[in-house]
Structure 1
C-alpha cells in the first residue's frame, strides 16, 4: 500500500510539472518594409508610416505579423543595394520592396535602376527571402522617353522573378492634393491609409504564401 501511495504521489507531481510547461506558440511572421521616404513615413508621426499601418491592417484580419520599417528618406536604388544585406536581418520571412522614386526624380538612367533592383532581388533570393514588389511610375515631367524606359521595370522584374506585384505604390494618392503633404510628393496620414487599402489584397496574398511555405 505504501508503494502504491508513493507511486500515486509521484505521478501527481510529474503531472503538475508537465502541466506547468508552457505550450509553444508560433512566432509572428517577420516582414521588412525596405524602401525610401514613402516607406519611412516622411514628415509623419511614426505610427502613420506605411509599415505600421499595414501591420495594423493585417493584424485586424487575424494575421500575426511584425513589419519592420527599413525605409530611409532620400534612398535611391543604389543606396538600397548598398545597405540591403544589413537592413534585412537574418530571420526575415519576407520583404516588401519599394525603391526607385528618387531615381526617377533625379533622372537616373532607368537601366541603372533596373540593374540595382535586380541585384537587390538576387541577394534576397540567394538568402531564400520572398519579396513583394511595390511599383513606381516616372513623373510626367521626365518626358515620354524616360517613362517608356522606366515604367516597365517593375512589372518586368516581377514577371522575371515570379514575384507578387502591386503596380503603383502611390495609387489613389498621386492625383489627390488632399492626400498629400504640402510638397505634393509624399502622402499625408490619410494618404497612407489609401495606400494601405489599395495594396492590402496583394500583401494579404503575399503573407499567405509565406505562411504556407
Structure 2
C-alpha cells in the first residue's frame, strides 16, 4: 500500500509539473484594447436603437474579426470640436489605450471658422500625445455653401493634423456611403429622414470603411504598449 501511495504522489507531482510547464510555454493571451470614441451624434448613435449605433456595430465588427476590444461611446449629440476639447481630459480614464476622434460636423452646421475648429482638434490631439495614446482621426468634407476658402481650410485641417501628430487617418466619416467616383448620389437611401444622420444600414456601411482603420489603430496601440513595457 505504501508503494502505491508513493507511486500515486509521484505521478501526481509529474502531472502537476507538466501542467505548469504547459502553462509556462503557452502563448500569452492578448490583452483587451480599450478605445475611447470621442465624437458627436454620429458617434453617439442619434435616432437609432442602441445596438444599431456606430459604436455597437463597430464593436461587433471587430469581435467578428477576433479582436478583444472595448469601445467606449463618448459621443455627445450636438457636440462641437470645442465640446470635445472641454471633456477629453476626463474622458480619457486610465485604462484607455487609444482614441477615435470624429468631430467637426456640428462646427460645419454652425459655420464655425475652420481655424477655430482646427485649434480645438489640435488641443485634443495634444492631450492624446501627452498620454502617448494612439489616435484615429476621422475627417469630414465641407459643403461648398460657405465658400471655396472655407471648404479648402476645413477639408485641409484633418490630413494636416493627422500628419503632424502621426495619427491614423480616415478622410471622411461618410466614406462608406460614397460611390466609386467619390460622389454620394445614393446616400439618401442610407440616411434618416433628417438627411444628416445615417440609418442602421448606413452605419453598417460606414463601419465597413472605418473598421480597417480601427484595426490599424489597435495594432499601433499594441506596439506603443509594447514599447512602453519594454
Same fold (TM over 0.5): yes
Residues 27 and 201 of structure 1: CA distance in aligned 2, closer, same or farther (over 3 Å): closer
Structure 1 portions without partners, runs of 5+: none
Corresponding residue for 2:116?
Answer: 112
Matched, 1:94 2:94: no
TM-score norm. by structure 2 comes to 0.82
Corresponding residue for 1:34?
Answer: 38
Structure 2 portions without partners, runs of 5+: 179-183, 225-230
Q: Post-superposition shift, 1:48?
A: 1.2
Please provide the CA RMSD for this pair: 2.6
2:84 to 70, 80, 84: 80
Is the contact between residue 43 and residue 73 of structure 2 (CA under 8 Å) also seen in structure 1?
A: yes
Corresponding residue for 1:204?
Answer: 215
- Equivalent residue runs for 1:147-166 within 5 Å: 147-166=151-170
TM-score norm. by structure 1 comes to 0.88
Residues 14 and 79 of structure 1: CA distance in aligned 2, closer, same or farther (over 3 Å): farther
Is the contact between residue 138 and residue 151 of structure 1 (CA under 8 Å) also seen in structure 2?
A: yes
3-state SS, counterpart of residue 90 of structure 1:
coil
Corresponding residue for 1:57?
Answer: 61
In 2: Cα distance, 1:35 partner to 1:67 partner:
12
In 2: Cα distance, 1:82 partner to 1:6 partner:
69
3-state SS, counterpart of residue 115 of structure 2:
helix
Q: Post-superposition shift, 1:184?
A: 0.6
In 2: Cα distance, 1:26 partner to 1:8 partner:
37
Q: Post-superposition shift, 1:67?
A: 0.8
Corresponding residue for 1:66?
Answer: 70
Corresponding residue for 1:132?
Answer: 136
2:146 to 142, 149, 172: 142
In 2: Cα distance, 1:15 partner to 1:179 partner:
59
In 2: Cα distance, 1:116 partner to 1:10 partner:
68
